[in-house]
Chain A
Amino acid sequence: MSKTMSKISSVDPQILREAVVASFQKLAPRVQLRNPVMFAVYLGSMLTTVLWAHSLATTVTGESSWFIFGVTVWLWFTVLFANFAEAIAEGHGKAQAASLRKTRTSVVAHKLTDHSSRESIEVHATDLQPDDIVIVRAGETIPVDGEVIEGVASVDESAITGESAPVVRESGGDRSAVTGGTKVISDWLIIRVTSRAGQTFLDRMIAMVEGAKRQKTPNEIALAILLAALTLLFLLVVATLLPYSIFSVHVSGQGKSISLTVLVALFVCLAPTTIGALLSAIGIAGMNRLSQTNVVAMSGRAVEAAGDVDVLLLDKTGTITLGNRQATRFIPADGVTEQELAEAAHLASMADETAEGRSIAVLAKRRFGLRGRGLEQIKPHFVPFSARTRMSGVRLNGHEIYKGAAEAVETHIRSLGGFLPEAVHTAVRQVAESGGTPLIVSHDAKVLGAIELKDVVKGGIKERFAELRLMGIKTVMITGDNPLTAAAIAAEAGVDDFLAEATPEAKLSLIRDYQKGGRLVAMTGDGTNDAPALAQADVAVAMNSGTQAAKEAGNMVDLDSNPTKLIEIVSVGKQLLMTRGALTTFSIANDVAKYFAILPAAFAATYPALKALDLMRLASPASAILSAVIFNALIIIALVPLALRGVAYRPVGAAQLLRNNLLVYGLGGLIVPFIGIKAIDLLLSAMGLA
């Protein structure tokens, strides 16, 4: 999906065309009513339209019809621009949804009637019920979401994830969930249906990106209240200005009271139309940005909450470390060279197919260029690992070479009359203390030295944690390791805290403790045993590769199954709020200049002395008012790209962010309209319209 999505740019002519059409369709009163700020503008536009019609019909010389017409046209443009902003944001979502929908072509499913004999009947995918059992063979599309109960197969999930490499799905464990719309490439799977048609993961994803189920988030509601209050305030300011003006005309004995057209124009300029027009576009664009990072959120609320997260719980294995312990160092005993140790270790590991065993071979090869020798010549007898001896090795030419856990090998050589040299003993202790796992290599009764196995921390992870710390997020590593090992890895990875010897219950209670302390907890998980903790966490990102239970418990699914994706999610959440805040500030700051443009113009005849307030020295009263209205409409269009892209977030601490945004959007919001209105006024005069 990421690939298809990135192709959808904001200047896609198709989307633009559709958005223009939608801008007009959205003029229906029912649609307008959803946004109180823009609804007020909508009513104002209707009023001036009537005033214009009236001015054409009457011959009484009042305001020029051309002036009323100009204001009316630009007020309608204000409404249309707001509609356009929303439509273009929705357009992006619709395009994503369309590309998803293509994969949801109707599928014929093979429903098993008898499990043991694999007899199946063909049914339509939409007729499947939860708990039905279906079989999917190579080349077929998985009809609905389900759980693999038998079989192993490679599945192409590119329709969902955009990732072309197939993934393995198998019964049991954490890789048992399959998604409707994905394709089995090899082998077969028997799947238990877990969701009804129309409610599958894919359906929910389509609904989300389309914004069909979009509900207002808590912060959005609070902001809408503030904006409605401001709109009401300005409505009062403008409405009371009429009696004030009538009274002023009465006492000054000159001029005419302010006209309705000017009042409506003033109101529209003062009302927070900039943010009001872009508010829903910002919300939709935020969700779109999230899906572009290949994360599907189940609600907008979760995305917003992501911006507030202050504790992040991460599984050690697979997230912080590569997941397997690997050999990192040979520590030879006194009188043994490192190469001798490496050769012996290599021999002892030759038949060891575990990741650890392979990593010893890899290390030996990398350090000394050792390769598998002609095994037939030396006729080795391999001794596999057993839980009893806790060693593995090789017997050849009457010699025994073993490698294994320190205590196990020590017992073995003592039985042969050998001993563990003091230096090796120290090395073993040091490796254990630094979080590694020591192995000892023996040659008959002689100890050759130790091998250090270590959990290898993923490259670049430390930097990401530092970034999180700057965002104000505390990272906590969760691991089943003992506290000593956990502490060492935690230090190496640069996490703030860790939970060692973690059980599902311990995880759950850790989350509850943090929440009791007032913190917002995010976690990522994939296993079924993560589900309770995922359900408890405020922001829970389930890996797409994870089990159905984990996906159900989470409120977001990461299609890439990349646990550090949370950093992007947090950024998107923060951007969403910041964009709203920045545009609100900008919108309110704009009002100052508009007052200076409109008030002197509106009262030019009653109180000529107020001309002193005309800081911009605008050409004429009519041009001043028209310029303010035009600026107010154009600024919406000018800010659409920012609303869609979002205000840039950098992890630099709250005070610094506020200072920057206040400077740009607060101070900028004060100054820009002075320049903009003056420029429009100059243009109008140049065109002879003023």
Chain B
Amino acid sequence: MTAHGFMQIGLYLAALLGCVKPLGIYMARVYSGRGPLKRFVEPLERLLFRCGGIDREREMSWRQYAAALLMFSFVGFLAVYGLQRLQAVLPLNPEALPAVSPDSSFNTAVSFVTNTNWQGYAGETTMSYLTQMLGLTVQNFVSAAAGMAVLVALIRGFTRRHSPTIGNFWVDLVRGTLHILLPLSLVLAIVLVSQGVVQTFSRYREATLLEPSVNAAGKTVTTQGMAVGPAASQVAIKQLGTNGGGFFNVNSAHPFENPTPLSNFLEMLAILLIPAALCYTFGEMVGDRRQGWALLAAMSVIFLAMLAVSCYSEQRGNPALARLGVDQTASRQQSGGNMEGKEVRFGIVNSAIWSVATTAASNGSVNSMHDSYMPLGGLASMWLMQLGEVIFGGVGSGLYGMLVFAVVAVFIAGLMVGRTPEYLGKKIGAFEMKMAALAILLPCAMVLLGTASAVSAQSGREGIFNPGPHGFSEVLYAFSSTANNNGSAFAGLAANTPFYNGLLGLAMLVGRFLVMLPVLAIAGSLAAKKIVPQGPGTLPTHTPLFVVLLVAVVIVIGALSFFPALALGPIVEHFMLAAH
């Protein structure tokens, strides 16, 4: 890797860490009802609450909170499903795209409601502008806000004592959307438009080719259709809200979604921006910022390690090509390394940063094709998802997932220092352990069982394009991505079939709601407890030692769960490639 490459990584990290504190403080104020934009947003909030008949002073128990969340998500699911099925007769459909098939509609509706944004379809040839804007983009906002709401409810669980309630879901949802996601997206969308990201309601364009070509059928092709649409508004939130569902099929590798180095940098920054800043928000809200920094440090350690693996394996290039005498060294003329599936304008480092960031966070947007990564590069992305999307993770969901791991880490550590385990003054008992175990176990189980059914069933095997371990990796990747609500794809898998649409849809539902429910249950249980004051016998949870322990727990659980599966996919592929 060149010095230039290191500088780009350094610049990216510096910009990210620089934003953590200001945005973190801002979000903490928003969720405490002291948002600086209150003056402008308040009238709109009032209107919304009045229309919805919501009393914003009314606090909810964790069960009520969960019920509201589930109901809201279900209504969102119906809306997105309906829009796709009816888009042929609805306005804003200049290309006259037909209704989407029932199984694909189901899959896509689940995908966007669960903040996964797995795409079994190709945007420009499937979805009308109305479906994209009113269905998908709306869910991009509210599914992100719902994830953040659950996190805030969990934080209240830590800060409240003897409280039967954990906040009001509607208030948290609206605050997250109007105060945080909307203003940030607005700014980002405008900057992206300035860089050349398209934003239009007009029909697709037709361009005359400078050099006519001959297609596979032997016909001479002189024109090319160019899909356009209201992309910038959707791209901004898909990056900020860890959604990742591209407007176009190739996502942010498309020049109309990601035209310049600046747009690439900003979109990459947007992936981790909110998840990283939420760590600070957490510290701020629990009254001990060091706690937030510790979690951010734990996330960063694993992120950097995986980034190193990815950069190293991609820049090293493909040994099979090396044996053919292909020059894969980085120089002023070429970025070198394994460039299959990567945009030349982004090169190795910016592709690697994106692939690691998008899988660390449960974003899932791509600017290069993960299927074409070297086995170890693909392993880095896949494993980051399998860790449960807790390394930054989804907005809200990443941090609450990490807090579940922190509860487990505190439990083991607490026993080892001879005290009933406590985290932030809350004793961790059998109920919390039960819920934490569920939240960690269920997505793991879904990945393992989903992959097992896909490689066993005929309809599952039919979708696999690649031979050998790589074919297995594709299936494993698909279930790792959906069951952890990431949404990125390894490609090479024909997933738009009833079998995969159904099973992957189920995986997304399990990965989202069967984690949220235990988390809310923990929030409710913790809120009702007293707070034990700190003493010399209390295990400090802001120290490097605890960070190491937390990292170890995340890695060990992730490694022990997926090592056999990974061994049969990317790991054996790596050794085979090296041995040939």
Stretch at the interface among A85-93, A240-248, A370-378: A240-248
A582 pairs with B416, CB closer than 8 A: yes
Q: Contacts A243-B452, A661-B416 hold; do A471 and B537 have CB atoms under 8 A apart?
A: yes
| A662 CB-CB contact with B under 8 Å | yes
Residues of A near B434 (CB, < 8 A) are 225
Residues of A near B471 (CB, < 8 A) are 251
Residues of B near A576 (CB, < 8 A) are 418
Q: Contacts A240-B449, A518-B531 hold; do A248 and B564 have CB atoms under 8 A apart?
A: no
**Binary B-proximity of A671-685 (CB < 8 A = 1, otherwise 0):** 000000000000000
| A332 CB-CB contact with B under 8 Å | no
Q: How far is the CA of A578 from the CA of B537 in the complex (A)?
A: 13
For window 541-599 of A, CB contacts with B under 8 Å fall at 573-578, 580-582, 584-585, 588-589, 591-592, 595, 599
| A540 CB-CB contact with B under 8 Å | no
Distance from B526 Cβ to chain A, minimum over Cβ atoms (Å)? 13
Contact of A251 among B411, B449, B468 (CB under 8 A): B468
| B419 CB-CB contact with A under 8 Å | yes
A222 pairs with B433, CB closer than 8 A: yes
A519 pairs with B414, CB closer than 8 A: no
Q: How far is the CA of A493 from the CA of B579 in the complex (A)?
A: 73
Contact of B472 among A218, A251, A654, A658 (CB under 8 A): A251
* Number of B residues, CB within 8 Å of A: 67
Tell which of A225, A304, A472 has the most Cβ of chain B within 10 Å.
A225
Q: How far is the CA of A243 from the CA of B445 in the complex (A)?
A: 14
A248 pairs with B575, CB closer than 8 A: no
| B514 CB-CB contact with A under 8 Å | no
A609 pairs with B444, CB closer than 8 A: no
Q: Contacts A222-B433, A575-B418, A599-B564 hold; do A666 and B535 have CB atoms under 8 A apart?
A: no
| B560 CB-CB contact with A under 8 Å | yes
Stretch at the interface among A112-120, A130-138, A160-168, A230-238: A230-238
**Binary B-proximity of A232-270 (CB < 8 A = 1, otherwise 0):** 111011011101111110011000000000000000001
A226 pairs with B545, CB closer than 8 A: no
Contact of A609 among B414, B432, B545, B575 (CB under 8 A): B575
**Binary A-proximity of B434-446 (CB < 8 A = 1, otherwise 0):** 1001101100110
Tell which of A219, A469, A472 has the most Cβ of chain B within 10 Å.
A219
B441 pairs with A577, CB closer than 8 A: no
**Binary A-proximity of B531-549 (CB < 8 A = 1, otherwise 0):** 1110111111001010011
For window 428-466 of B, CB contacts with A under 8 Å fall at 428-430, 432-434, 437-438, 440-441, 444-445, 448-449, 451-453, 455-456, 461
Residues of A near B408 (CB, < 8 A) are 226
Chain B residue with minimal CB distance to A515? B530
**Binary B-proximity of A659-672 (CB < 8 A = 1, otherwise 0):** 10110011000000
Residues of A near B560 (CB, < 8 A) are 233-234, 237, 270, 588, 591-592, 595
A310 pairs with B539, CB closer than 8 A: no
Residues of B near A123 (CB, < 8 A) are none
Q: Say what secondary structure dominates the interface of chain A.
A: helix
B469 pairs with A581, CB closer than 8 A: no
Residues of B near A69 (CB, < 8 A) are none
Residues of B near A308 (CB, < 8 A) are 419-420
Contact of B416 among A472, A585, A609 (CB under 8 A): A585
**Binary B-proximity of A598-621 (CB < 8 A = 1, otherwise 0):** 010001000101101100000000
Contact of A655 among B433, B441, B531, B540 (CB under 8 A): B540
Distance from A224 Cβ to chain B, minimum over Cβ atoms (Å)? 8
Distance from A471 Cβ to chain B, minimum over Cβ atoms (Å)? 6
**Binary A-proximity of B549-580 (CB < 8 A = 1, otherwise 0):** 10010001001110111011001100110010
Residues of B near A304 (CB, < 8 A) are 420
| B417 CB-CB contact with A under 8 Å | yes
Q: How far is the CA of A657 from the CA of B549 in the complex (A)?
A: 13
Chain A residue with minimal CB distance to B548? A662
Distance from A610 Cβ to chain B, minimum over Cβ atoms (Å)? 5
B444 pairs with A577, CB closer than 8 A: no
Chain A residue with minimal CB distance to B579? A609
B448 pairs with A248, CB closer than 8 A: no
| A649 CB-CB contact with B under 8 Å | yes
| B415 CB-CB contact with A under 8 Å | yes
| A13 CB-CB contact with B under 8 Å | no
Tell which of A308, A658, A665 has the most Cβ of chain B within 10 Å.
A658
Residues of B near A241 (CB, < 8 A) are 564-565
B543 pairs with A218, CB closer than 8 A: no
Distance from A309 Cβ to chain B, minimum over Cβ atoms (Å)? 9
Q: How far is the CA of A506 from the CA of B417 in the complex (A)?
A: 33
Contact of A658 among B453, B461, B545 (CB under 8 A): B545
Residues of B near A655 (CB, < 8 A) are 539-540, 543, 545
Contact of B425 among A232, A473, A518, A578 (CB under 8 A): A518
Contact of B437 among A226, A518, A603 (CB under 8 A): A226
Distance from A520 Cβ to chain B, minimum over Cβ atoms (Å)? 8
Distance from B513 Cβ to chain A, minimum over Cβ atoms (Å)? 19
Residues of A near B472 (CB, < 8 A) are 244, 247-248, 251
Chain A residue with minimal CB distance to B449? A240
Q: Contacts A229-B441, A237-B561, A248-B469 hold; do A221 and B452 have CB atoms under 8 A apart?
A: no
Chain B residue with minimal CB distance to A229? B437
A225 pairs with B538, CB closer than 8 A: no
B430 pairs with A581, CB closer than 8 A: no
Q: How far is the CA of A331 from the CA of B244 in the complex (A)?
A: 88
Residues of B near A398 (CB, < 8 A) are none
For window 461-481 of A, CB contacts with B under 8 Å fall at 469-474
Residues of B near A270 (CB, < 8 A) are 560
For window 487-522 of A, CB contacts with B under 8 Å fall at 517-520
Distance from B443 Cβ to chain A, minimum over Cβ atoms (Å)? 11
| B228 CB-CB contact with A under 8 Å | no
B418 pairs with A577, CB closer than 8 A: yes
| B44 CB-CB contact with A under 8 Å | no
Distance from A248 Cβ to chain B, minimum over Cβ atoms (Å)? 5
| A207 CB-CB contact with B under 8 Å | no
B416 pairs with A237, CB closer than 8 A: no
| B467 CB-CB contact with A under 8 Å | yes
Residues of A near B571 (CB, < 8 A) are 610, 613
A310 pairs with B452, CB closer than 8 A: no
Residues of B near A519 (CB, < 8 A) are 532-533
| A653 CB-CB contact with B under 8 Å | yes
**Binary B-proximity of A303-328 (CB < 8 A = 1, otherwise 0):** 01101101000000000000000000
Residues of B near A221 (CB, < 8 A) are 430
| B412 CB-CB contact with A under 8 Å | yes
Residues of B near A578 (CB, < 8 A) are 415-418
Distance from A663 Cβ to chain B, minimum over Cβ atoms (Å)? 11
A244 pairs with B469, CB closer than 8 A: no
A243 pairs with B455, CB closer than 8 A: yes
| A223 CB-CB contact with B under 8 Å | yes
B451 pairs with A240, CB closer than 8 A: yes
Q: Contacts A218-B420, A662-B416 hold; do A517 and B533 have CB atoms under 8 A apart?
A: yes
Residues of B near A470 (CB, < 8 A) are 536
Tell which of B418, B538, B560 has the most Cβ of chain A within 10 Å.
B418
A233 pairs with B444, CB closer than 8 A: yes
Residues of B near A246 (CB, < 8 A) are 455-456
| B413 CB-CB contact with A under 8 Å | yes
Q: Contacts A308-B419, A581-B413, A658-B416 hold; do A244 and B535 have CB atoms under 8 A apart?
A: no
Chain B residue with minimal CB distance to A657? B417
Contact of A247 among B432, B456, B537, B543 (CB under 8 A): B456
A662 pairs with B564, CB closer than 8 A: no
Chain B residue with minimal CB distance to A578? B418
Instruction: Show 6 A/B contacts (Cβ-Cβ < 8 Å), sorted by A.
Output: A223-B433, A240-B565, A310-B535, A577-B415, A577-B419, A603-B567
Q: Using A575-B418, A581-B412, A607-B568 as known contacts, list a sample of 13 further A-B pairs with CB atoms less than 8 Å apart, ordered by residue number in A.
A: A222-B428, A237-B560, A518-B425, A518-B530, A577-B415, A577-B416, A581-B413, A585-B412, A585-B416, A588-B560, A658-B417, A658-B539, A662-B549
Closest 9 CB pairs of A and B: A472-B537, A581-B415, A574-B418, A229-B437, A581-B416, A247-B455, A609-B575, A472-B536, A240-B452
